[in-house]
Structure 1
Amino acid sequence: MRRSVVAVVTLVVVTPLALAACSGDEDKPSPAAWVGASSAPPPSGSVPESGSTEPGATGGAGAVSLTVTPATGKKNVPVSTEIGFKVSGGKVTTVALKDAGGKAVSGELREDGSAWVPSKTLKTSKKYDATVTAVDAAGAKKTVTTSFTTMGKAGKQTGTGLYLFDDRTYGVAMPVVVEFNPGIKKKDRAAVQKRMFVKTEPAQPGVWSWTSSGTQAYYRGPSYWKTGTKLTVRIAVGGLPTGSGRYGDRDRAATSKIGRSFIMKVDNKTKKMTVVQDGKTVRTLPVSLGKKSTPSSSGTMVVMEKKAATVFDTTAELGPTEGYRTEIEYAQRITWSGQYIHSAPWSVGAQGNRNVSHGCVNVSPSNARWLFDKTLIGDPITVRGTGDKLAAGNGWTAWDMSWKEFVKGSALPVSAELAAAQGDA
């Protein structure tokens, strides 16, 4: 299985090959959003309230000057629209948005105060009325209203996916992974990234980063997530212009939790895996890695999928002579190209001594089951010393680069302080 090469992108919210040796034709895990995901809270900000009404889309009485968008009478507005404003001599304190039936639409202010974001995608071909109130230092208010009509259903859409499920617990290295089909071009990524919200509790810094093809974006911090972290993610791209006349298919969202720290480290020199849980070494076990013709990749990978039983079948790619079909137990995928941690009873004698696998991390049946029972999706595994470097994008490779390199992938500016942060990578 071959995947696109990955680079990396950022938004911080304070209050996101060649045929592999083991299996070249295993299906990748589906993004959670493709099988349904509930909506998540809008970006953090003040709670909107209703305000007094004054006609028009601009106002400038007293010291407060206020301009609101979309402009009054605007039609064919994307259903992803935000209520934007420019204000001087005061600050916006309340925003109220209602549909044609008078029903209030929830939402919150952006942290930089530049706009108000509805908590859900607006409905197509509907009229909306917005009321925005700004207040100056003396308490004088300025209220402006605007009305607009949203566009009909988009003819061309960008498919999206989110690799997170609601109410699941993930490992400390779980990046927030978003997919786009077709990929987002460079010139359009900043606008899309501005609608990708991640909130962490407790608060931890983070950066978004895109693949070179724009088909994926990762969100992670300088260090692994803290145990117990709550991740609230909203990829608010439903109806958002994504370039080339396309619009995002729908919002994607999930609320998940980060579990205990469980880190696997494999050294080709010793042919051993060291398992560290919550900072303490809990087990060291022998492994066999890829033989010379099918080497394992060196780098930091993440458990992406777990199957108690599966079949590795490479006959379609390699033919009946070179290919093979083998039943496998306790398989944990770590690359898209088909490298796994898995039970290999046939190589127990080689484990700890020599490499005989087709690129996978072979362990004994008992060790494979022990690992399988302990790991979570998102647990990191670092392999060193094989001489074959992990290709960017061959799996969730967000941690297989330095933080300095990671932040370069952002389509939005990254603060100097955040870019200089020190962490695990």
Structure 2
Amino acid sequence: MEMDGIRSAERPARVGRRGRRPWRLAVATVLASTLLFTAACTGDGDKASWEGGGSPESGTNSQSAAPDPTLSTVAVTSPAADAKSVELWSEVKFTSEDAQNTEVTVTNAKGDEVKGTVDKDANLWRPAEGLAWNTKYTVNVSTPAADGKTNTATSSFTTMKEPSKLVRVSSFLADGQKVGVGMPLIMKFGRAVPEKYRGEVERRMVVTATPAQEGTWRWISATEVHYRPKVYWKANSKVFYAVNLKGVKLGDGWYGRSNLTVDLNIGREMIMTVSNKTKKMTVKQDGKVIKTIPVSLGKSSTPSSSGTMVVMEKAAHTVFDTTDEDPVNGYKTPIDWAQRITYSGQFIHAAPWSEGVQGRRNVSHGCVNVSEALGEWLFNRTLMGDVITVSGTEEKLKNGNGWTNWNMSWEEYKKGSYLN
């Protein structure tokens, strides 16, 4: 504890009269400084002799020796000493009379320090990721004292054994992929996550974009959660997400199986806009129109959906087979340059049979028909996650019929998070 600084005595005023000797003034100044120093350094019970203190026998000034500095008391309060079956995300709680100067380290059985953060306002240490199953950890809490000594508390605990009830967690996307600016991040769970645990799950799934971009998770169902930024991803940005769910409670005695990380690249911005009124698709790349394509949309009995969708998958050559759903009126047709945009089976694809009416009339079963040549041109330029907006048709896109993350406002989208 630092002692307040003692003000120096003010410089004495010059003597105006001749003949007064300056050494008298110097002696007075030294005496005043001595008295100030004595008063500042004596305790309440040790008065200076000129205040009536001192030894009753000798009558001299007798100051008590300064007591040893009091060490700050520290202790580990949780987990309890030698606790067993501690959960992997358990916080370490401690007490300290000087929390701001308290250091906390946690080491594993090999003596390696575990990464974590200390909240000195709450007296907590939190692990950066889930600890290992069935492993002994040692906590060391220390606080320095004024005289260079250190007060230390040490405690150990052992984490729980790996349970049999583990939930698989998977990412739809993988490391190194390049995707469009509308691509949502998609996480899936092997078992339904009860609502009371979803907020904690979100906290363990951290998204970092470079440059920084605001975004949020939204639960699509009890087994699927998506993430999107407030506006489309910035072109050519980087996205990294760490999903630390190993050992996280997922309800009814189930725990997350593992952690995972994904590193993505966002490509150039490509936006496709389709108007039923003009029967044309406008293709913009990085804000500039690069192509206008005649289209044929769904006829009135099988209309295309109006709304904002993204490219979900691509196939240069495939077969559309609806005979299982409709044995009487179903069809089986080879298709080129197919790009899925809904779960219900709406695609952008080449349709050479409708080239004569593309740009003038709707004849499809709900898909966006383009010519063979322009279908190939478009297919070779799009990425999964590129955005397509269709307007002016008889049917509105239903949320959930595909990756419809952009078919709602930001305010509506945020309502699907358990942290907002």
Structure 2-normalised TM-score? 0.75
TM superposition shift of 1:140: 10
Instruction: Report if the CA contact (8 A) 1:263-1:275 is conserved.
Output: yes
Aligned match of 2:349 in 342, 358, 381? 342
Aligned match of 1:376 in 383, 395, 401? 383
TM superposition shift of 1:159: 2.8
**In 2 relative to 1, CA 305–146 (structure 1 residues): closer, same or farther, beyond 3 Å?**
farther
- Please give the residue correspondences for 1:109-258 in structure 2 after superposition, counting only pairs within 5 Å: 116-119=126-129, 121-131=130-140, 145-211=154-220, 213-258=221-266
User: What secondary structure does 1:192 align onto?
Assistant: helix
Separation in 1 of the partners of 2:339 and 2:149? Answer: 62
TM superposition shift of 1:381: 0.7
TM superposition shift of 1:384: 1.0
**In 2 relative to 1, CA 268–128 (structure 1 residues): closer, same or farther, beyond 3 Å?**
same
Counterpart for residue 280 of structure 1: 288
User: What secondary structure does 2:395 align onto?
Assistant: coil
Separation in 2 of the partners of 1:86 and 1:349? Answer: 80
**In 2 relative to 1, CA 141–337 (structure 1 residues): closer, same or farther, beyond 3 Å?**
farther
Aligned match of 2:110 in 85, 91, 101? 101
Give the number of equivalent residue pairs.
350
TM superposition shift of 1:344: 1.1
User: What secondary structure does 2:374 align onto?
Assistant: helix
1:8-56 CA-partner distances (Å, limit 9, x unpaired): xxxxxxxxxxxxxxxxxxxxxxxxxxxxxxxxxxxxxxxxxxxxxxxxx
1:241-276 CA-partner distances (Å, limit 9, x unpaired): 111221122223201111111001111111111111
| Residue 393, structure 1, aligned to residue 400, structure 2 | yes
Q: Which residue identity does 1:273 align to in structure 2? A: M
Larger deviation, residues 81-90 vs 351-360: 81-90
Larger deviation, residues 309-318 vs 147-156: 147-156
Instruction: Report if the CA contact (8 A) 1:331-1:342 is conserved.
Output: yes
**In 2 relative to 1, CA 163–70 (structure 1 residues): closer, same or farther, beyond 3 Å?**
farther
Separation in 1 of the partners of 2:298 and 2:88? Answer: 50
1:114-147 CA-partner distances (Å, limit 9, x unpaired): 653334x4332222224456899xx998765443
User: What secondary structure does 1:187 align onto?
Assistant: helix
TM superposition shift of 1:400: 0.8
1:164-187 CA-partner distances (Å, limit 9, x unpaired): 211111111111111123222222
Aligned match of 1:333 in 317, 333, 340? 340
- Give unmatched runs, 5+ long, in structure 2: 1-69
Separation in 1 of the partners of 2:143 and 2:391? Answer: 57
Separation in 1 of the partners of 2:127 and 2:142? Answer: 15
- Please give the residue correspondences for 1:56-75 in structure 2 after superposition, counting only pairs within 5 Å: 62=72, 69-75=78-84
**In 2 relative to 1, CA 133–279 (structure 1 residues): closer, same or farther, beyond 3 Å?**
farther
Counterpart for residue 52 of structure 1: none
User: What secondary structure does 1:397 align onto?
Assistant: coil
Counterpart for residue 412 of structure 1: 419
TM superposition shift of 1:376: 1.0
**In 2 relative to 1, CA 310–117 (structure 1 residues): closer, same or farther, beyond 3 Å?**
farther
Structure exhibiting the larger radius of gyration computed from Cα positions: 2
User: What secondary structure does 2:412 align onto?
Assistant: helix
Larger deviation, residues 241-250 vs 150-159: 150-159
**In 2 relative to 1, CA 90–78 (structure 1 residues): closer, same or farther, beyond 3 Å?**
closer
Instruction: Report if the CA contact (8 A) 2:103-2:142 is conserved.
Output: yes
1:64-103 CA-partner distances (Å, limit 9, x unpaired): 9776654433322333545567888644886543322323
- Give unmatched runs, 5+ long, in structure 1: 1-59, 414-425
Separation in 2 of the partners of 1:331 and 1:94? Answer: 59
TM superposition shift of 1:382: 0.8
TM superposition shift of 1:369: 1.0
Instruction: Report if the CA contact (8 A) 1:198-1:233 is conserved.
Output: yes
TM superposition shift of 1:378: 1.1
Separation in 1 of the partners of 2:370 and 2:94? Answer: 59
Counterpart for residue 324 of structure 1: 331
1:372-411 CA-partner distances (Å, limit 9, x unpaired): 1111111111111112121212111111100111111110
Instruction: Report if the CA contact (8 A) 1:298-1:388 is conserved.
Output: yes
Separation in 2 of the partners of 1:347 and 1:406? Answer: 37
Separation in 1 of the partners of 2:107 and 2:356? Answer: 70
Q: Which residue identity does 1:406 align to in structure 2? A: Y
**In 2 relative to 1, CA 401–118 (structure 1 residues): closer, same or farther, beyond 3 Å?**
same
Aligned match of 1:265 in 232, 252, 273? 273
Structure 1-normalised TM-score? 0.74
Larger deviation, residues 154-163 vs 75-84: 75-84
Q: Which residue identity does 2:82 align to in structure 1? A: G
| Residue 290, structure 1, aligned to residue 283, structure 2 | no
Instruction: Report if the CA contact (8 A) 1:170-1:378 is conserved.
Output: yes
**In 2 relative to 1, CA 186–365 (structure 1 residues): closer, same or farther, beyond 3 Å?**
same
Instruction: Report if the CA contact (8 A) 2:184-2:228 is conserved.
Output: yes
Separation in 2 of the partners of 1:91 and 1:280? Answer: 55
